Amino acid sequence: MDSSFPRSLSVSPFKSETQSNMFQYCTDLFLPSQVHDQPVLFYEAQSYMVSISIHFRPLLDAMMACGATTLCSEVDWCRDFAVKKYISAIQGVRAGLANGSLVGTEDHLLATVMWLCLFENIRCDDPTKLNYHLQAMCTLLRLRTPMDRTNSAAPALAFERMCIESFIHHSATIMLVDSTKDLVCVVQQFVKKYEACFSGKSAPLTENYLDKLESLPVLGRPPNVLVILAQATKLALSDAPLSEASFKRSSDLEDAYSPGAVRKLLYLPLAILGSVLTSEQDVAMLREKLKVITESSNSNTVKHITEILEEVWLSQVGGSENFMMDGLGKLLRSANIGGPTSDS
């Protein structure tokens, strides 16, 4: 665990009730909304980050800036508040580097730059600023030595894991909107350098903690999946000129790649499988799987196919295997999955 962070601040680092409330909003509501399924690993990283933020003003400011910028559309004063805290965080980091109090390997410095990346990613108005902070984060990760997994506390290890995931996520984002940025090799280098973060190798950790390593709070998927996505994006955008809509497109692509969207892609194959089932037990199991997708989808097509499946099951569950193709045929015809057909 990082023991070098400054302790010059008083017990209460907040200068006003507004700052205190904003920090609480950021840690209790905003930060949990940025991760997948809010695993225990995330809460350990969060507790560590909060503990170092109250002793390092730039990190505190960067966190409050992120929280405030998400409220700009609802609260007028939040826009100015967010910008002031953002500028204050940058000035604090610059001052620390200039006077030598920061050397580049501190956890609180890495966390601050990570939050500055998040701030620019939320605003989505200038990719160059995100790239500036991403380069800084890259430099810090190069300077660091991966934490000793035999002696470091679980919250510190979880924090390091979250920082690596965050860098990979922001790298994939910047490559989506700027074909001149090629960070694929850099991401691969860091995945290899911090391999123990994802695998738990050479760490006498408990079985419970190793289970937590399977969850990816920021990425939501293995790092290599993001590397493949970044490579594909690089090829797709290599000849495409930048446009004003490019950065907005990155947000749309992220939404399309969300767990909910991926589940929708699985719906049709599962529906086709369901149309040939005749066992009540098999139908019950598949119905539960489809229910998860249906409840998270606003698609009328998904709901329509679900209704057709229920009709198919009503007529063929408990019947012989001769009913199997009838159910599939009804699904394809009623849902028009195969496209329009003509009677011969």
- Please tell me the distance from the alpha carbon of residue 160 to that of residue 107, in angstroms, as a whole number: 8
Per residue of the chain (344 residues), give pLDDT as tens: 444 434 434 445 667 788 888 888 887 777 776 665 545 555 667 788 888 888 899 999 999 999 898 888 888 889 999 999 999 999 999 999 999 999 999 999 999 999 999 898 888 666 677 788 989 999 999 999 988 878 888 888 888 888 888 888 888 777 766 666 777 788 888 888 888 776 654 344 444 444 444 445 455 556 666 666 666 666 665 555 556 666 666 666 666 555 555 555 666 777 778 887 878 888 888 888 788 777 766 666 677 778 888 888 887 766 655 555 567 777 777 655 544 433 43
- Please tell me the distance from the alpha carbon of residue 73 to that of residue 139, in angstroms, as a whole number: 34
Taking the CA atoms of 326, 332, 338 and 344 in sequence, report the sign of the dihedral they define: positive
Helices (H), the chain: 17-25, 31-33, 40-53, 57-69, 77-99, 107-123, 127-143, 154-177, 184-193, 195-199, 207-212, 223-237, 246-256, 259-274, 280-295, 300-316, 324-335
Contacts of 200 (CB under 8 A, 6+ apart): 149, 209, 210, 213
Give the pair of three-digit tokens for residue 111.
Answer: 């966390």
Give the pair of three-digit tokens for residue 303.
Answer: 């709901």
Burial (CB count <10 Å: 0-12, 13-18, 19+), residue 3: exposed
Residue 41 in contact with residue 217, Cβ under 8 Å?
yes
> Which pLDDT belongs to residue 128?
73
> Which pLDDT belongs to residue 259?
56
- Please tell me the distance from the alpha carbon of residue 1 to that of residue 153, in angstroms, as a whole number: 6
Contacts of 70 (CB under 8 A, 6+ apart): 30, 122
Give the pair of three-digit tokens for residue 253.
Answer: 């692509």
Residue type at position 286: L
> Which pLDDT belongs to residue 75?
85
> Which pLDDT belongs to residue 270?
77
> Which pLDDT belongs to residue 230?
65
Helices (H), 26-153: 31-33, 40-53, 57-69, 77-99, 107-123, 127-143
